[in-house]
Amino acid sequence: MTQSKYKSDFLHVMEERGFINQCSDVEGLDKKLCEGVQSAYIGYDPTGPSLHIGHLYTVMMLHWFQQCGHKPITLMGGGTALIPDPTLKDKTRPLLSPADIETNVESLKQVFSKFLTYGEGPTDACMVNNYDWLAGLDYIEFLRDVGMHFTVNRMLTFESVKTRLDRELPMTFIEFNYMILQGYDFVQLHRRYGTVFQMGGSDQWGNIINGVELGRKMDRAELFALTAPLLTTASGAKMGKTEGGAVWLNADMLSPYKYYQYWRNVEDDMVGTLLRRFTLLPVAEIEKLEALQGQEINEAKKILAFEATRLCHGETAAQEAQATAQNVFEQGVAGTDLPSISIAESRLAAGVFVIDLFVETELAGSKGDVRRLIKGGGAKVNDGTVTDEKQTVSTEDLTPDGYIKLSAGKKKHALAWVESP
Residue (52 or 190) nearer to RNA, CB: 52
User: Is 182 among the catalytic positions?
Assistant: yes
User: CB-based contacts of 108: which residues, under 8 Å, 6+ apart?
Assistant: 44, 46, 49, 50, 51, 74, 76
Report the residue from 124, 243, 401, 419 that binds RNA according to the rule CB under 7 A.
Answer: 243
Q: CA-CA distance, 362 to 216, in Å (whole number)? A: 54
Catalytic residue among 12, 30, 38, 55: 55
Catalytic residue among 123, 233, 242, 319: 242
Q: Binding segment for RNA among 29-37, 125-133, 229-237, 309-317 (CB under 7 A)? A: 229-237
Q: How far is the CB of 334 from RNA (least distance, A)?
A: 13
Left (φ > 0), alpha (ψ -120 to 50) or beta: where does 294 sit?
Answer: left
Catalytic residue among 12, 17, 52, 313: 52
Binding status of residue 238 toward RNA by CB under 7 A: no
Q: What amino acid occupies position 105?
A: V
Binding status of residue 95 toward RNA by CB under 7 A: no
Please answer whether residues 38 and 71 qualify as being in contact, where contact means their C-beta atoms are separated by less than 8 angstroms: yes
245-246/241-242 β-pairing:
antiparallel
CA–CA distance from 30 to each of 4, 35, 38 (Å)? 12, 9, 11
Catalytic residue among 109, 216, 217, 241: 241
Binding status of residue 359 toward RNA by CB under 7 A: yes
Catalytic residue among 7, 31, 89, 144: 89
Q: CA-CA distance, 261 to 264, in Å (whole number)? A: 5
Residue (150 or 329) nearer to RNA, CB: 329
Report the residue from 232, 316, 346, 366 that binds RNA according to the rule CB under 7 A.
Answer: 366
Residues in the chain: 421
Report the residue from 56, 209, 249, 297 that binds RNA according to the rule CB under 7 A.
Answer: 297
Report the residue from 25, 203, 267, 287 that binds RNA according to the rule CB under 7 A.
Answer: 267
Report the residue from 37, 95, 143, 237 that binds RNA according to the rule CB under 7 A.
Answer: 237
Residues 306-335, interacting with RNA (CB under 7 A): 325-326, 328-330
Paired strand residues for 147: none
User: Is 269 among the catalytic positions?
Assistant: no
Q: CA-CA distance, 344 to 301, in Å (whole number)? A: 38
Please answer whether residues 69 and 35 qualify as being in contact, where contact means their C-beta atoms are separated by less than 8 angstroms: no
* # of chain residues touching RNA (CB under 7 A): 45
Q: How far is the CB of 256 from RNA (least distance, A)?
A: 14
CB atoms near residue 241 (< 10 Å): 15
Binding status of residue 351 toward RNA by CB under 7 A: no
Q: How far is the CB of 66 from RNA (least distance, A)?
A: 32
Q: CA-CA distance, 335 to 142, in Å (whole number)? A: 59
User: Is 242 among the catalytic positions?
Assistant: yes
User: Is 47 among the catalytic positions?
Assistant: yes
Report the residue from 15, 287, 345, 389 that binds RNA according to the rule CB under 7 A.
Answer: 389
Binding status of residue 412 toward RNA by CB under 7 A: yes
Binding status of residue 255 toward RNA by CB under 7 A: no
Residues 151-210, interacting with RNA (CB under 7 A): 168-170
Chain contacts with RNA (rule: CB under 7 A): 90, 168-170, 234-235, 237, 241-243, 261, 264-268, 294-295, 297-298, 301-302, 325-326, 328-330, 359, 365-369, 371-373, 376-378, 389, 408-412
Active-site positions read: 47, 52, 55, 89, 93, 182, 203, 238, 241-242
